[in-house]
Amino acid sequence: MITNKKPRSSDTDSNYMRDDRTEMSEDDDRSPPSDSIANGSCPTRTCTPGSGSGSGSGSSSIPEYSAPYPDRVLENVLENVLWFLTSRKDRNAASLVCRSWYRVEAMTRSDLFIGNCYAVSPERATSRFTRVRSVTLKGKPRFADFNLMPPNWGAHFAPWVSATAKAYPWLEKIHLKRMSVTDDDLALLAESFSGFKELVLVCCDGFGTSGLAAVASKCRQLKVLDLIESEVSDDEVDWIMCFPDTETCLESLIFDCVECLVDFDALERLVVRSPSLKKLRLNRFVSIGQLYRLMVRAPQLTHLGTGSFSPSEDVAQGELELDYVSAFAACKSLVCLSGFREIVPDCLPAIYPVCANLTSLNFSYANISAEQLKPIISNCHKLQTFWVLDSICDEGLQAVATTCKELRELRVFPFDPREDIEGPVSEVGLQAISEGCRKLQSILYFCQRMTNAAVIAMSKNCPDLVVFRLCIMGRQRPDHVTGEPMDEGFGAIVMNCKKLTRLAVSGLLTDTAFAYIGKYGKIVRTLSVAFAGDSDMGLKYVLEGCPRLQKLEIRDSPFGDTALLSGLHHYYNMRFLWMSACRLSHQGCQQIAQALPHLVVEVIKHEDTVHMDDYADTLYMYRSLAGRRHDVPKFVSIL
Amino acid sequence: MVYERDLNLEATELRLGLPGTVTEQSEKQKPNSNATKSNKRSLPDMNGESEVRRENSSVSSNDKKSHGQETAPPIKTQVVGWPPIRSYRKNSLQAKKLEAEAAGLFVKVSMDGAPYLRKIDLKVYKGYPELLEVLEEMFKFKVGEYSEREGYNGSEHVPTYEDKDGDWMLVGDVPWEMFINSCKRLRIMKESEARGLGCAV
C-alpha cells in the first residue's frame, strides 16, 4: 500500500553514510548514456503525446479513461511513488522511461550527486532538478592527492555555491570531495541557506578558519560539520568560539585534520551545550587531559577521535593521574575510535573498557609495536574496520587475524614510506589476515615485499573482497621468493573474487596481468595502475575486456596511442581516464578529442618533468555535457 | 664540523649517489647537530662514538648505502607521488620521525669514582639490554643479571636513576617507555651504596 507520507530526508542519508566517510565511494554512479540528455531535455523515448488523450499507452483500442485530468493524476501518483526511490541508479533508469517520468523524477530527486564537477554545468543541473535538498560534488581525480596534479588546476566550488544559492535556498546538505573551496564560498553558503544542516569536506583545500567561523556562526541548524583530510589554513580566527551561545543541534563535529589550535575552554563549553553530539573527532592539539574533560561531558558519544592522546607539555604530571579508564568505561555507546596522533603508549590501556564494543578502530597515526597492540586487539572481537601503521609488523597482523573474525575493512599504512628499506610487513601478514579474517571485503596494504602465493591465498580465503589494493612500495618488485612477476597473484584476485569492483596493482607486472584483468574483471569499476605492463596490449586488454570500467588511473606505464585508441567504444561510459608519464603523443590525444565530441580531453603540462618532445605529460579526460570549462589554467590545454 | 658546514664542502664532494639523494642525509644530520647544543663536550673523540651510533640507528636509506655500498642496490631517484600516500599523512608521520630523531632525551650519567660525567641520548636505545651494554662500554664495568626480586645481584656496580619525583630508582624496574619518560639522570652506584634500592617493599 502506498502511504502518502514523504520520506524524511534522513532516510536518504543511508546511501551516503559509511562508517567514517573518508571514502566516499559510490554505490553506483552510472549516468544514463549522454545521448539521452545531450540535446536539451528530451529523452529519446517518449510516451504517446497528448494531454487529455487518456492513458499514455498509445494504443487506440483501449477506451478512454474518463477522469478530469488523467495525466495529472498519473503524475501525482508517480510523484508520490518516486519519492521513495532513493538509489541513483534506479532514478536514472526511471528518468529514461518517458518524458513524463523524466519530469517527475527531476522534480522528486532530493539528493543530487555529481561525480565529476566538470561533467555538467551548475546551471544545467539546477534547472533540471528543482527540489534538491542535498548536493554531493566530486572534483579533482584521485592522483591529485599525490602531487601529480599542479596546484590551481580547478574544481572550484564557487560556481556551484552561487548556482545552488539561487536555485535551492532550502538546501540542507553539501558534501564535497577534492574541491577547491574558498572562505568566500563558505561565507556565501552560510548566508544563503537558512536551514543548512550538514557540511562535509573531504580532501578539500583553499579555505581557512575564517570560512569555518562563518559557517559556525550563521548556520543555526547545523548538525554536521565534518572536515576530513582537508587542508585548512590558520587565519587566527577561533572558529569554535563562533558557534552561538545557545544550545546547538550538533551531532557530528570532525576536525582532526585542522592544524591549528582551538580554544579549549570554548570547545568544552560547546560540547556541554551540544546534547545531541554523537561524533567528535579532535585534532592533535588537544591533549589527553583535555580529552578527559570532554569525555566526561559527553559520555553519549558513539564516535571519538582522541586528538594527540598524550599529555600536554606543561601539565604533564596532573594529566597522567586522571582516571582515563573510567572515562572510557562511561562511554557505553562508543563504537568508533580514532586519533592517537602523538600517542604515548603507556596511555593505551585506558581504552580497554571500550574494546569489546568497537566496530571501527583507527590506529593509522599511532606508531605502536605488536606488543603494544596485542592486549588491545585481543579484546576487539566485534571489530569491522581497522586502520593501522605497519609498525605493528607481521606479528601484529597475526594478532588481528586471531581475534577479529568480523573484520570487513583493513588498511595498513607505512610508517616510513620509502622504497628501498626492509619493511616490517610482508606476505606473512597478508597470509595471516586472509586465513583469519574470512569476511574481509576491503583491503589496502602497503609493504616492501610480497609473494604471489600470499595474494593467491587471499583470493581464495576471502571471496567477499570488493576492494583489493596492494601497494608494493618498491617499484616493479617481483615476488621476492620466486623472482617472478606478480601477474599470477593479481590474476587470482580477479578470477576468484567475484564481487571485486576496485583494484589497485603494483610490483613487477607484465601484460599478462592485464590480460587476466580484462578476462575476469567483468565488474571492475575502478582500476589503479603504476609502473606496470610491457606494451600497448596491456591497456588494450583492459579497455576491451572490462565493460564496467569507470575510473582508470595510470601512471608511468608504457602505454601509447594505439592502446588509447582501442578504448574509443567505451570512453563515454567512463567517468574519467588519467594517464600520466605514459607514451601518449599529442596527436594521439587529439584523435580521441576529434572522435568523441562529448569528451573533454585535457593535456596537463608539468613544469618539472623533462618530457620527450611530443609526449603528453598527463592526459586527463572525462565525459561532459558542459564542454570545455571556462576556468582553464595556463598549464592545461583542452584539445 | 661547523667549519665544514660554512664552506659547504658537501656540495663539491664526490659521491656515488645520484644528485638529489644527498639532501636526505644532510637534512637528517642537521637536527642531530642542533640537538647537541650543549657544547660541554670535554672530550670530542669520545663523544664521536655516540655520534656514530646515532648515525647508524637513524633510519636513512642513504646512511645504509654509504656504510654498505657494495651490496646495496642502486639508489633510486625520488619519484613524485610514490608511494601513493596523501601529503597530510606523510607530513604527520614525517614530523613524528624527525621529532623523534631530533628531540633526543639527553641525560647525564655519572659513576661513583669516575672523575667526569657523560651524557647519553636515551631515545636512541630500544631497551634495557642495549642501554646497559652501552653503559658498560662507556665506563668499563660489568653489571650482573637483573632480576625483579634481587636487582643486580652479584655485581660491583649497580645502575640507578633519578626519576621525575626526585627519587633514586633501580634501572630496570619499570617498563622501558615509562623509564625514558621519567628518567632525569643516571648514576652508576657502588653495590655497597645501592643496598636499599631495588624492588620496593
Contacts of A530 in chain B (CB under 8 A): 82, 84
Using CA atoms, how far apart are residues A288 and A311, in angstroms rounded to an integer?
Answer: 5
Closest C-alpha among A417, A480, A449, A367 to residue B61? A417
Judge: A346–B96 Cβ closer than 8 Å, yes or no: no
Q: What is the pLDDT of residue A423?
A: 84
For the cut 70, the answer to whether the pLDDT of residue A473 exceeds it is yes
**Chain A residue set in contact with B, beta carbons under 8 Å:** 143, 145-148, 203, 229, 231, 257, 284, 317, 341-342, 344-346, 364-365, 367, 389, 413-421, 446, 471, 473, 475, 530-531, 555-556
Angstrom CA distances, A497 to A458, A501, A528, stand at 9, 9, 17
Measured between beta carbons, which residues in chain B are less than 8 angstroms from residue A344?
177, 181
Parallel, antiparallel or unpaired: strands B157-163 and B168-170: antiparallel
Distance (Å) from the alpha carbon of B134 to chain A's nearest alpha carbon: 24
Rounded CA separation A425/A447 (Å):
6
Yes or no, beta carbons of B61 and A364 under 8 Å apart: no
Query: From the list B82, B92, B181, which residue is nearest A475 (CB)?
Result: B82
pLDDT exceeds 80 at position A614: no
Which residues in chain A have Cβ-Cβ distances shorter than 8 Å to B96?
342, 367
Q: Which three cell numbers stand for residue A79?
A: 510523484
**What are the start-end ranges of the H helices in A114-179?**
122-128, 158-167
Q: How far apart are the first and last CA of chain A?
A: 54
Chain A residue whose CA is closest to B89? A365
Pairing of strands A599-604, A636-638: antiparallel
Q: Is the pLDDT of residue B121 over 80?
A: yes
Q: Give me the residues paired with residue A176 across strands.
A: A137, A201
pLDDT tens figures, B46-89 = 333 333 333 333 333 343 333 333 444 444 567 889 999 998 89
Is B19 an interface residue toward A (CB < 8 Å)?
no
- Percentages helix, strand, coil for chain B (3-state, rounded to 5) are 45, 15, 40
Per-residue pLDDT, A103: 87
Q: Which of B62, B91, B93 to mutate to test the interface with A (most CBs of A within 10 A)?
A: B93
Helix (H, G, I), strand (E, B) or coil at A135: strand
Does B70 reach chain A within 8 Å, measured CB to CB?
Answer: no
CB-based contact A415 B82, cutoff 8 Å = no
pLDDT at A335: 98
Whether B141 has a pLDDT exceeding 90, the answer reads no
Cell of A483: 623472482
Chain B positions in Cβ-Cβ contact with residue A143 (cut-off 8 Å): 81
Shortest Cα distance from A318 to chain B (angstroms)? 13
Four-way CATH pick for B106-195: 3.30.1180.10, 3.40.50.300, 3.10.20.90, 3.40.50.720: 3.10.20.90
Q: By the CB < 8 Å criterion, does B97 face chain A?
A: yes
CB burial string A434-465: b at 16+ within 10 A, e below: bebbeebbbbbbbbbbbbbbbbbbbbebbeeb
Distance separating alpha carbons of residues A619 and A319, to the nearest angstrom: 54
Chain B residues with CB inside 8 Å of A475's CB? 76, 79, 82
- Integer Cα distance of A534 and A529 in angstroms: 13
| Nearest one of A79, A465, B192 to A455, comparing CA atoms | A465
Q: Which of A342, A346, A413 sits opposite B89 (nearest CB)?
A: A413
The pLDDT of residue B104 is 65
Give the CA radius of gyration of chain B. 20
Q: What is the pLDDT of residues A511-534, one digit of tens each?
A: 999 999 999 999 999 999 999 999
The answer to whether B178 faces chain A, any CB pair under 8 Å, is yes
Per CB-CB distance under 8 Å, the chain B contacts of A421 are 59, 61, 64
Query: Across the interface, do A416 and B97 touch by the CB < 8 Å criterion?
Result: yes
Provide the grid cell at B172: 630496570
Q: Which of A65-69, A128-132, A395-399 has the lowest mean pLDDT?
A: A65-69
Higher pLDDT, A609 or A519: A519
What are the backbone angles phi and psi of residue A116, rounded to the nearest 5°?
Answer: -140, 115
Say whether pLDDT at A10 is over 60. no
- Alpha helices, H only, A41-87: 70-82
By three-state DSSP, how is residue A437 classified? coil
Which residues are within 8 A (CB) of B144 and not within 5 positions of it... i.e. 6 or more apart? Answer: B152, B153, B154, B155
Note whether A563 and A588 are within 8 A (CB). no
Q: What is the pLDDT of residue A100?
A: 85
Q: What is the structure's pLDDT at B127? A: 87
Question: The whole model's pTM is what?
Answer: 0.74
Cβ atoms within 10 Å, residue B192: 9
Out of A147, A229, A420, the one facing B80 most closely (by C-beta) is A147
CB-based contact A148 B177, cutoff 8 Å: no
Pairing assessment for the beta strands A385-389 and A360-363 based on DSSP bridges: parallel
Residue A267, φ and ψ in degrees, nearest 5: -65, -45
Between chains, do A418 and B61 touch, taking CB under 8 Å as contact?
yes
Flag the least confident range among A8-17, A156-165, A293-302, A590-599. A8-17
Q: Is B82 on the interface with A (CB under 8 A)?
A: yes
Q: Residue window 114-153, chain B: list those with CB within 8 Å of chain A.
A: none
Q: Which of the four pLDDT bands, split at 50, 70 and 90, describes residue B95?
A: confident
The C-alpha cell that represents A360 in the structure block:
571501527
Report the gap between the CA of B7 and the closest CA in chain A (Å).
29
Which of A22, A146, A313 best probes binding to B when mutated, by most B CB atoms within 10 angstroms?
A146
Q: Which of A229, A414, A420 sits opposite B73 (nearest CB)?
A: A420
For position A139, what pLDDT does the model report? Answer: 97
Q: Is A288 strand, coil or helix?
A: helix
What percent of chain A is predicted at pLDDT more than 70? 87
Most confident of A27-31, A345-349, B26-30: A345-349
> 3-state DSSP: chain A helix, strand, coil percent, rounded to 5?
35, 15, 50
**Cα distance between residue A92 and residue A34, in whole Å:** 12
pLDDT in tens, A314-370: 665 677 678 999 999 999 999 999 999 999 888 999 999 999 999 999 999 999 999
From A414, which residue of chain B is nearest by alpha-carbon distance?
B85
Cell of B31: 637536527
Separation between Cα atoms, residue A456 and residue A434, nearest integer Å: 10
For residue B108, is pLDDT > 50?
yes
- Chain B segment 48-67 residues within 8 A of A by beta carbon are 59, 61, 64
Chain A positions touching B61 (Cβ under 8 A) are: 418-421
pLDDT grade, residue B174 (50/70/90)?
confident
Question: For residue B182, what is the enclosing H or E element?
Answer: helix B176-182
Question: What mean pLDDT is predicted for residues A413-418?
Answer: 88
Average pLDDT over residues A176-180: 97
ipTM of the complex: 0.81
DSSP state, A488?
A: H
Q: What is the average pLDDT score of chain A? A: 88
Q: In this structure, are residues A437 and A451 in contact, taking their beta carbons and an 8 Å threshold?
A: no
Rounded Cα gap, residues A357 and A351, in angstroms? 11
Q: How far is B71 from chain A (nearest CA, A)?
A: 13
Cell of A406: 568480523
**The predicted structure's pLDDT at residue A608:** 62
Burial (Cβ within 10 Å: 0-12, 13-18, ≥19) of residue B136: middle
pLDDT of A131 reads: 93
Closest to A510 in 3D by CA, of A550, A541, A482, A470: A541
Kindly state the helix (H) or strand (E) to which residue B24 belongs, with its residue range: helix B22-35
Q: Report the chain A residue with the minimal C-alpha distance to residue B176.
A: A346
Mutate to test the interface with A, among B69, B82, B88 (most CBs of A within 10 A): B82
The region of weakest confidence among A64-73, A400-409, A518-527 is A64-73
* Range of weakest confidence among A57-66, A363-372, A470-479, B58-67: B58-67
Q: Which of A411, A416, A609 to mutate to test the interface with B (most CBs of B within 10 A)?
A: A416
> Residue B75 and residue A420: Cβ atoms within 8 Å?
yes
Q: Which residue of B has its CA nearest to A447?
A: B83
**The amino acid at B50:** S
Q: What is the pLDDT of residues A232-276, one digit of tens each?
A: 999 999 999 999 999 999 999 999 999 999 999 999 999 999 999
